[in-house]
Structure 1
Amino acid sequence: MINYTDNKHFSLFNKQEKHQHIVANTSYRERISKLNALQRAVEVTYREKIQDALHKDLKRPIVESDLVAVYLVVKEIKHVKAHLRQWFKKQPVDSQFTLLGTTSWYIYEPKGVCLIISPWNYPINLALSPLVAAIAAGNTVILKPSEIASHCSKVIAEIINSVFTENEVAVIEGGVETAQELLKLPFNHIFFTGSIEVGKIVMSAAAKHLTSVTLELGGKSPVIIDVSANLKLTAKAIAWIKHFNNGQTCIAPDYVFVHESIKNEFIRLYKMALLEFYTEDASKSSTYGRLINEKQYNRLIGYLEDARTHNAHFEVEGPTNASDLFIGPTVITNLPEESLLLQEEIFGPILPIKTYNEIDEVIEYLKSKPKPLALYIYAKRRRIINYIIKHTKAGTTGINNNGLQFSNHNLPFGGSNTSGIGKAHGFYSFQEFSNQRGILKRYAIGPIRLLYPPYTNFKALLARIVVKWL
């Protein structure tokens, strides 16, 4: 047995471990009451503090804060409240003839003590949305928000402390060492959102305790623009989501494949969209955010310098300002495959553009890459849309839109392999935080007794009949 008493967070973990069975047995109404309290805190009590914290951490405009940090969390809560009664019920399943005299069903029971580790790019909703599911499923939770978005981390702690007792839901703030200490504890489930590299560390730590995981990761999400696409709408949609939160979005378009014949027109319309959204000087626009910190700024500057050494063409070269953590909208073409912008996830306001002549060129290229978290298709031709979907793999796909699949709580959201493990949102998050417990009850003597020992020739004949016909 491992001795956890020297772990600085064991005391809190132990409290939740002892309390988990009480929480697990809470009723539907009790869980709804907790969700209502959390909804009031986000939607009313702490709304202005959330907006202020996001502005301090990311210079995020109030509209973006309301849409993502407030609306999506509240929408998640409302969705769960509307369906939780059904999820609470036992779910009957059919039984085959050989099990005549039995009835079968399954229930969703809580996994136990859960750990949620949330990222800095969407620090509020990516902390609270999985928490909603964990509460609905009847778990206790330790939540570790990102220390990089420090103002948001403090607001999250305030919200949680105002709604829950620490033996049910608690926030632990801190840096990498704090996360490392938490990962040593034998949680029943870990829900992590972040980078692929850290996701591997989380999964490795979880494996030591055979802890189940949900990993919401990222990768390079491509956009494919067919000749049949409405280019004006396409350019606006891509420009909007690419620069939402200054490009620091896991499902933002990482690079674009556009048909050679429409490349110049797309770039022209994309420039017009940028001008409409952010004026000629995005640094003075109240709707254009900033990078989270100097580390991310320097990383992206390094990518741009690498592009220049490869003689890439800057179709739009945004100004940069280190003191303001500002990089203006940037569009780059003629990048060689070995360039950092085509090898690494960008996570910023830089858009590489590649061209193609035949769609199979794109298909073969994507097959050689890890499965992306999102793949986007802009086309009117149904045949092309279906062909791309059939011959590619991705966690999610948007057709003639970017990012909207994230906001539909009836859709499973998540990656595949390096872009993630498990699904989230609505029922799918509830399922991640639950154990699907199968139950079979015998209420009458059924035909199975005919196969009890001793095994006679007659029973051997029955076994052969069962194998062949039943």
Structure 2
Amino acid sequence: MDINHIVRKQKEFFKTGRTKDVDFRIDALGKLEQAIRKYESKIEEALKKDLNKSEFESYMAEVGLTLSDLTFIKKRVKRWSKDERVLTPLSQFHAKSFITKEPYGVTLIISPWNYPFLLCIEPLIGAIAAGNCAILKVSRDSKYTSEVICEMISETFPEEYITVVNGNREVVNQLLEEKLDYIFFTGGAAVGKIVMEKAAKNLIPVTLELGGKSPCIVEKSADLKIAAKRVVFGKYLNSGQTCVAPDYLLLQNDVKDEFIKYLKEAIALFYTNEPLQNDSYTNIINEKHFNRLVNLMKGEKIVHGGDIDRENLKIEPTILDKITLDSPIMKEEIFGPVFPIITFDNIEEAENIILQGEKPLALYLFTKNKRIEDRILKNISFGGGCINDTIIQLATSRLPFGGVGNSGMGSYHGKQSFDTFTHKRSIVKKYNWIDLPIRYLPYDDFKMKLLKLFLK
């Protein structure tokens, strides 16, 4: 595969200016929407093969979310693309100030395996809406979904506009050596650092959508039964292979036994008493990740689940008790259906536990206490989250989604997707019928007084 040839072809196509035409972009978004609807059954079949996702979960968490964001953006892209007038300071009289929106050029979107359709196509929607060309680097681990994406995109768009690249780490390295105009990466922090380091050599701007250990706090005033259902939904969706899944549970001692009982009831309600036999229960993506998760459970106190199906790469929804910050499972992002519990006596203690780690991608707080809600939101930095629910913050086009610090930089969804792939260019148009002499030499006391008047 000649990566340099692909990049050169896209740069040449971008120079024609066709992608800058707003009608061209809207037409491209329409073609993408038609393609997704045409390939919907193939996408769902591929997700079943890769991750054993049910038809319902595939539509809810991948295809449906993608179409929702696409529809939202397509309706608004013409308005977002217009020049934006801003006030001009008196010191620049007489002039007009405005912001124009221009695409970056050739963009690279590197997508992961856990939501292989959603996290590939949703950034692409933003790139198209903003007027860019795009190279999609799909994941080898989600083999079947990557093949469908490749077929769908190649049938819908010419490769000089949008193309899909599959391959190993060497292909990624080749892509990162090219002088691209923007890189959008979704994945782990370790690889994210490599992407950023490579991009820095060519001063390429990046968006990094990473992850981290996202805490879920259950405080004693919470509605425990509802909280348990919402926590179980967010934690075990896609077998915990979700970047914003609750990574660990901070549970107040006063309600520990009662809440664990409700967690067990919710797991049985959702996945039956034999989750490994449940055909709607997602498997782990590959043997490497399966073995990592099994090793994280070794030696820990399992209070629910713990059984495995090595042949089908499934691990029961599992709860671990008596976990401390020194436990091995607290040293890395879990990214699986294993839920460690750390208890606390007061909210200050829970807060201090979170602050000992990196800034998480998400935080979830279950409470009816407004004072505690305000305290957590004020004192803890995180990418985004929910009060009294989990993961639904990413299911709206009206909220930006992204991390902070070690959990990422930049954001997308809805208008933020358009903004992420757009350079905002500042323009001042000066009129010639008057030319104030204050800025020109020679300077004197009178000009200094005027300058201070204008710029105070």
Alignment TM class, shorter chain as reference: over 0.9
Q: C-alpha displacement at 1:445, in angstroms?
A: 4.9
What does residue range 373-388 of structure 1 map to in structure 2 within 5 Å?
373-388=361-376
Aligned residue number for residue 136 of structure 2 = 143
Q: C-alpha displacement at 1:122, in angstroms?
A: 0.3
Q: CA separation in 1, counterparts of 2:436 and 2:264?
A: 72
Aligned residue number for residue 340 of structure 1 = 328
Q: CA separation in 2, counterparts of 1:389 and 1:163?
A: 44
Q: C-alpha displacement at 1:464, in angstroms?
A: 4.0
1:353 partner amino acid: I
Deviations 1:115-136 (A, max 9, x none): 0000000000100000000001
The 3 A distance-change label for structure 1 pair 408 and 448 is farther
Aligned residue number for residue 195 of structure 2 = 202
Q: 2:255 aligns with which of 255, 262, 265?
A: 262
Aligned residue number for residue 388 of structure 2 = 400
SS of 1:324's partner is coil
Q: C-alpha displacement at 1:248, in angstroms?
A: 0.3
SS of 1:119's partner is coil
Question: Does 377-386 or 207-216 show the bigger shift?
Answer: 377-386
Aligned residue number for residue 26 of structure 2 = 32
Aligned residue number for residue 8 of structure 2 = 14
1:242 partner amino acid: K
Q: 2:166 aligns with which of 158, 163, 173?
A: 173
Aligned residue number for residue 126 of structure 1 = 119
SS of 2:311's partner is helix
Q: C-alpha displacement at 1:25, in angstroms?
A: 5.0
Identity of aligned residues (%): 39
Q: C-alpha displacement at 1:83, in angstroms?
A: 1.2
CA contact under 8 A between 1:99 and 1:447: conserved in structure 2?
no
CA contact under 8 A between 1:222 and 1:253: conserved in structure 2?
yes
CA contact under 8 A between 1:206 and 1:212: conserved in structure 2?
yes
Unaligned runs of 5+ in 1: 1-6
Q: 1:41 aligns with which of 35, 38, 46?
A: 35
CA contact under 8 A between 2:99 and 2:424: conserved in structure 1?
yes
Aligned residue number for residue 84 of structure 2 = 91
SS of 2:115's partner is coil
Q: CA separation in 2, counterparts of 1:155 and 1:51?
A: 10
SS of 2:197's partner is helix
2:6 partner amino acid: L
The 3 A distance-change label for structure 1 pair 104 and 25 is farther
Q: Aligned pair 1:163/2:156, yes or no?
A: yes
Q: Could you list the runs of 4 or more consecutive aligned residues of structure 1 that deviate by over 6 angstroms after TM superposition?
A: none
SS of 2:285's partner is coil
Aligned residue number for residue 421 of structure 1 = 409
Q: CA separation in 2, counterparts of 1:314 and 1:139?
A: 50
Question: Does 175-184 or 204-213 show the bigger shift?
Answer: 175-184
Aligned residue number for residue 70 of structure 1 = 63
What does residue range 179-328 of structure 1 map to in structure 2 within 5 Å?
179-305=172-298, 308=299, 312-328=300-316
SS of 1:268's partner is helix
SS of 1:458's partner is helix
Aligned residue number for residue 154 of structure 1 = 147
Q: C-alpha displacement at 1:282, in angstroms?
A: 0.4
Aligned residue number for residue 47 of structure 2 = 54
1:181 partner amino acid: Q
Aligned residue number for residue 349 of structure 1 = 337
SS of 1:114's partner is strand
Q: Aligned pair 1:370/2:344, yes or no?
A: no
CA contact under 8 A between 2:189 and 2:406: conserved in structure 1?
yes
Deviations 1:323-370 (A, max 9, x none): 111111110010232222111100000001111111011111211211
CA contact under 8 A between 2:18 and 2:24: conserved in structure 1?
no
CA contact under 8 A between 1:24 and 1:110: conserved in structure 2?
no
Aligned residue number for residue 4 of structure 1 = none
RMSD of aligned alpha carbons: 1.3
Q: C-alpha displacement at 1:446, in angstroms?
A: 5.2
Aligned residue number for residue 410 of structure 1 = 398
Unaligned runs of 5+ in 2: none
Q: C-alpha displacement at 1:257, in angstroms?
A: 0.7
TM-score (norm 2): 0.98
